[in-house]
Structure 1
Amino acid sequence: MRARRSWPDVLAGAIFVVIGAVFAAGALGYELGSPLRMGPGAFPLLVGVIVAGLGLAIVVKGLIAGEVIAFGGVPWRAIAAITIALVFFGFTVRGLGFVPTAAVTALLTALAGRVRLLTAVAVAAGLTVAATLIFVVGLQLRIPLVGPWLGA
């Protein structure tokens, strides 16, 4: 009996192999250093090799013991909501400030799935608080909490 091949796995694995190889090749342009004193190219080279290796494993799995998976329709609502959220964040973070922009972005991405409005608001509030603590307080990014468009 012949094993089925999973062409989606083979394609996904091949994409990972290409991405890993590109990162590894780009890392060779930097100094690698030694294992005790790694240079700026050591980490990207390591990550590229790991990603390519995992991609190769996915390709082999797809060729040897692949499973045929039936995919549903394309989630256009989720794709549109997340794309709009990212574009909104990029264009408004300096004008509105970090907190309002992060809140709206998190709300839009939460609504990309089929969740209740109250759940989406709770998720957006939690993500906004976490992102503010991580990026503005912890990493000290120089982004105003409330921007000039809101009179701050």
Structure 2
Amino acid sequence: MNKLSIDPTNGACGAIFVAAGLFFGYQSLGQEIGTAFRMGPGYFPLVLSGILIVLGAIIAIQATRVAGEPIGAIAWRGMFFILPAPIFFGLTVRGLGFVPSLFITALIAAFASQRMRPGTAIIVALALTIFSTIVFSYALGLPFQRFGPWLSWAGV
């Protein structure tokens, strides 16, 4: 009889997908589901959680068939910079405005890489801010403040 071996990376990924799908599927049952033609607020989350469960199961099954590499070291630096960046943006976009919040968010996220130098990070953040302002503010005409009330003292 063959010994069951599981690729730890894909096995963990599949288990996380299934667990997240079950959690959100259970949460969506508290909402009105409706039908495919008259969807309630819980319909779309339930469908997405079902897809997530199926994908997680496929990944977990595939983890038993293919031998993979062991899970390596956790990239703490990446998590330390990437995870707080969108949180910072969400907390400051109304107060600082879109342009300064996006610039600082991009600057924070840029330092997730160990090879990023401060000058390069500023250039990347500036380019991303200019591009996003052109696309979201001017091209799409989204109604948000480019500079918020927290910067009113600066005359901006």
Q: After TM superposition, is the score higher than 0.5?
A: yes
Query: 2 CA distance for matches of 1:90 and 1:29?
Result: 27
- Unaligned residue ranges in structure 2 (runs of 5+): none
Secondary structure of 1:40's aligned partner: coil
The 4+ residue runs of structure 1 with deviation greater than 4 A are 116-119, 133-137
Which residue does 1:81 correspond to in 2? 81
Which residue does 2:106 correspond to in 1? 106
Is contact 1:4–1:68 with CA below 8 Å preserved after alignment? no
| 1:47 shift after superposition | 0.2
| 1:124 shift after superposition | 1.7
Query: 2 CA distance for matches of 1:48 and 1:134?
Result: 32
Paired residues, number: 150
Q: Deviations over 1:29-64 (max 9, x none)?
A: 223322223222221111000001111111111123
| 1:100 shift after superposition | 0.9
19-28 or 48-57, which deviates more? 19-28
Could you tell me the TM-score, scaled by structure 2's length? 0.75
Q: Residue 87 and residue 4 in structure 1: after superposition, are their counterparts in 2 closer, same or farther (change >3 A)? A: same
Which residue does 1:140 correspond to in 2? 142
Q: Residue 22 and residue 77 in structure 1: after superposition, are their counterparts in 2 closer, same or farther (change >3 A)? A: closer
Percent of counterpart pairs with the same letter? 39
Could you tell me the TM-score, scaled by structure 1's length? 0.76
RMSD, aligned CA? 2.8
Query: 1 CA distance for matches of 2:19 and 2:7?
Result: 19
